[in-house]
């Protein structure tokens, strides 16, 4: 039986632009290299994004989110910021940023930029000053410097692990040459964590927000939004012994109820989701509201439950939070139904709507997650068609409109800091520069004239997947995305949010605004309900049945 539906928290006519927007993620290094030689260096940049904005207009998205392009030594490809209010020469200049924002607005595209408040780069002036200053100094108090444990302070201050592998602490050599304090870095050692209990930190970030708001950006994507504050004691994390009841291979707690999002065993996480972080977002909300035009912010918060994700979007906090529950859902009609119902219910108390994400620059591209090849692509298209009928906002990741798969990047070309810290392949495979045209790499990544190779090599097999090749093919994934976004505008613009999702065996049915979305996750073709097929993610059978791994909207 369908479970109770949610209804719109605000009437469609009063909704701000972001409420049901489709937002396209531009990974700055890999979208397009727009600067002529000799600057054309195989790394994407701001002029490249500006030059390719017509692609986003023609695709039919409402906004773009651009990953960090600020001054940075690029150890984590921009998520290590050395100066939050300047453009790295790799990506261009502040004037290039102004031109990009202005041009996007001419195309009716909003611009969201990334803000990275959990940590700076080791090259940020504050960290350089902290290293030169003494333990206990105000300069060190902007970060989390602590004495080590053990007789000579030779052990890290606690047992926390970096997200990129290895200990979350690095020991410094004091200015006098002696082994000294340790600093916390939840990510790479080149990304020291800030101490948000120090008021200077909050004041600095308010200035950063205002700097970019004054330049005309429409919103912010907040990196590691569930970070920032750590439990004040910096106590050890309790980790179950590997193999203990409820522990995964690495000792992390695992769900005891299979796919269920409801009864998950929560991990002990003194480094994430501290209650104090919400005060930061209340302050940011007040700043955003001083500006005209519904400026917004979206949290990247890998929270443990949809309910704790919803805390970030209480009416006086942020506008949206990425809903990663959708991204991690296995290929199963009942799992999809559950995640849809649960995600909608979790945000129903806020003034917001859910968000939906299938891919981004940190995860394996979804056609590959769904098994790769023709079946992976068919499933990816079906999941996308379903996602784009759901209430709220959807985030697309560059290249998914081309059906790109994860690339197996050769070890000598891998650049992800997590590869260097763990020896695991890392995230480079979803960050390979886009193929725009031509028959061979670099597939016009630097424009039609450029022959320079991009910073991660592209597979030769992408020749058939370039934007130019797919524009010429009405059955291409690009054509499918354009048709789907156009159907979304035609059938769902301003639609009520009330939605039901149910699984009958392997068939998912979502109902919203007079539309029935049917996704066949089973192995046999199934009959569609009566009505007009508005769009399908792949061909129907000759007798009009919905084949496996296919979805359709029926009106």
Tell me which residues are annotated as active site.
Answer: 223, 290
Residue from the set 33, 45, 76, 549 that interacts with ligand NOJ by CB under 6 A? 76
Specify the residue, 76 or 96, whose C-beta has the smaller distance to ligand NOJ: 76
Of residues 229-288, those binding ligand NOJ (CB under 6 A):
none
Q: Facing residues of 220 across strands? A: 113, 297
Per-residue binding letters, 477-516, with ligand NOJ (x by CB under 6 A): ----------------------------------------
Q: Is 223 a binder of ligand NOJ (CB under 6 A)?
A: yes
Please state at what angle helix 277-289 crosses helix 199-214, rounded to 10 degrees.
30
Q: Which of 312, 156, 306, 152 is nearest to 222 (CA)?
A: 312
CA-based radius of gyration for the chain: 24
Specify the residue, 300 or 549, whose C-beta has the smaller distance to ligand NOJ: 300
CB of 281 to ligand NOJ, least distance (A): 17
Of residues 115-154, those binding ligand NOJ (CB under 6 A):
116
Query: What CA dihedral angle connects 247, 249, 250 and 253, to 10 degrees?
Result: -20
Residue from the set 31, 69, 79, 127 that interacts with ligand NOJ by CB under 6 A? 79
Specify the residue, 224 or 487, whose C-beta has the smaller distance to ligand NOJ: 224
Distance (Å, whole) CA 19 – CA 296: 10
User: Would the CA dihedral through 484, 485, 490, 496 be positive or negative?
Assistant: positive
Residue at shortest CB range from ligand NOJ: 79
Tokens of 94: 């502040």
CB of 361 to ligand NOJ, least distance (A): 6
CB of 271 to ligand NOJ, least distance (A): 13
- DSSP assignments along 229-252, one per residue: ---TT-PPPP-PPTTSTTB-TTS-
Report the length, in residues, of the chain. Answer: 555
Q: Residue written as tokens 């209480």?
A: 314
Binding residues for ligand NOJ, total number by CB under 6 A = 9
Tokens of 408: 């197996």
Cβ-Cβ contacts under 8 Å for 36 (sequence gap 6 or more): 447
CB of 360 to ligand NOJ, least distance (A): 7
Per-residue binding letters, 177-196, with ligand NOJ (x by CB under 6 A): ----------x---------
CB of 408 to ligand NOJ, least distance (A): 20
CB of 362 to ligand NOJ, least distance (A): 5
Specify the residue, 76 or 497, whose C-beta has the smaller distance to ligand NOJ: 76
Distance (Å, whole) CA 378 – CA 266: 34
Q: What is the Cβ-side half-sphere exposure of residue 418, based on CA atoms within 13 angstroms?
A: 15
Q: Residue written as tokens 């990506």?
A: 91
Specify the residue, 79 or 196, whose C-beta has the smaller distance to ligand NOJ: 79
The SS3 assignment for 399 reads: coil
Of residues 350-369, those binding ligand NOJ (CB under 6 A):
361-362
Specify the residue, 224 or 528, whose C-beta has the smaller distance to ligand NOJ: 224
Q: Enumerate binding residues for ligand NOJ (CB under 6 A).
A: 76, 79, 116, 187, 223-224, 300, 361-362
């Amino acid at each position: 039986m369908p479970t109770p539906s949610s209804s719109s928290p605000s009437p469609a006519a009063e909704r701000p632009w972001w409420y049901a927007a489709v937002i396209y993620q531009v990974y700055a290094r890999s979208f397009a290299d727009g600067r002529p030689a000799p600057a054309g260096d195989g790394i994407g940049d701001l002029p490249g994004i500006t030059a390719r904005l017509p692609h986003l207009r023609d695709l039919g998205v409402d906004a773009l989110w651009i990953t960090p392009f600020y001054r940075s030594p690029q150890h984590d490809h921009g998520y290590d910021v050395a100066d939050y209010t300047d453009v790295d020469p790799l990506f261009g200049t502040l004037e290039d940023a102004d031109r990009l924002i202005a041009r996007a607005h001419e195309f009716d595209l909003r611009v969201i930029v990334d803000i990275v408040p959990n940590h700076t780069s080791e090259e940020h002036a504050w960290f350089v000053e902290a290293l030169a200053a003494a333990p206990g100094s105000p300069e060190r108090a902007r970060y989390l410097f602590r004495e080590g444990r053990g007789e000579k302070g030779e052990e890290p201050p606690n047992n926390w692990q970096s997200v990129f592998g290895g200990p979350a602490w690095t020991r410094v050599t004091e200015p006098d040459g002696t082994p000294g304090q340790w600093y916390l870095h939840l990510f790479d050692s080149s990304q020291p964590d800030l101490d948000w209990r120090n008021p200077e930190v909050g004041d600095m970030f308010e200035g950063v927000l205002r700097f970019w708001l004054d330049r005309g950006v429409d919103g912010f994507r907040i990196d590691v939004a569930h970070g920032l504050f750590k439990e004040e004691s910096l106590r050890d994390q309790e980790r179950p012994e590997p193999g203990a009841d409820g522990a995964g291979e690495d000792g992390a707690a695992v769900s005891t109820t299979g796919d269920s999002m409801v009864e998950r065993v929560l991990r002990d996480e003194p480094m994430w989701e501290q209650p104090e972080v919400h005060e930061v977002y209340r302050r940011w909300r007040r700043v955003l509201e001083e500006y005209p035009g519904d400026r917004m912010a979206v949290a990247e918060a890998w929270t443990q439950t949809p309910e704790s994700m919803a805390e970030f979007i209480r009416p006086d906090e942020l506008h949206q939070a990425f809903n990663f529950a959708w991204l991690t859902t296995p290929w199963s009609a009942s799992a999809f139904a559950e995640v849809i119902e649960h995600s909608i219910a979790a945000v129903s108390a806020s003034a917001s709507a859910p968000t939906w994400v299938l891919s981004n620059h940190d995860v394996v591209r979804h056609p590959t997650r769904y098994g790769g090849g023709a079946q992976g692509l068919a499933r990816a298209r079906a999941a996308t068609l379903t996602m784009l009928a759901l209430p709220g906002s959807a985030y697309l990741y560059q290249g998914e409109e081309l059906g790109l798969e994860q690339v197996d990047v050769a070890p000598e070309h891998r650049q992800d800091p997590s590869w260097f810290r763990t020896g695991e392949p890392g995230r480079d495979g979803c960050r390979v520069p886009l193929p725009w045209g031509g028959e061979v790499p670099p597939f016009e990544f630097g424009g039609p004239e450029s022959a320079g190779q991009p910073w991660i090599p592209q597979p030769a097999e992408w020749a058939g997947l370039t934007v130019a090749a797919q524009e010429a093919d009405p059955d291409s994934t690009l054509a499918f995305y354009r048709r789907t976004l156009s159907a979304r505008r035609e059938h769902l613009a301003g639609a009520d949010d009330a939605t039901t999702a149910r699984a009958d065996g392997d068939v998912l049915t979502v109902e919203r605004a007079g539309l029935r979305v049917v996704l066949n996750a089973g192995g046999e073709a199934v009959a569609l309900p009566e009505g007009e097929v508005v769009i399908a993610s792949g061909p129907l059978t000759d007798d009009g049945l919905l084949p496996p791994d296919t979805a359709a909207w029926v009106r």
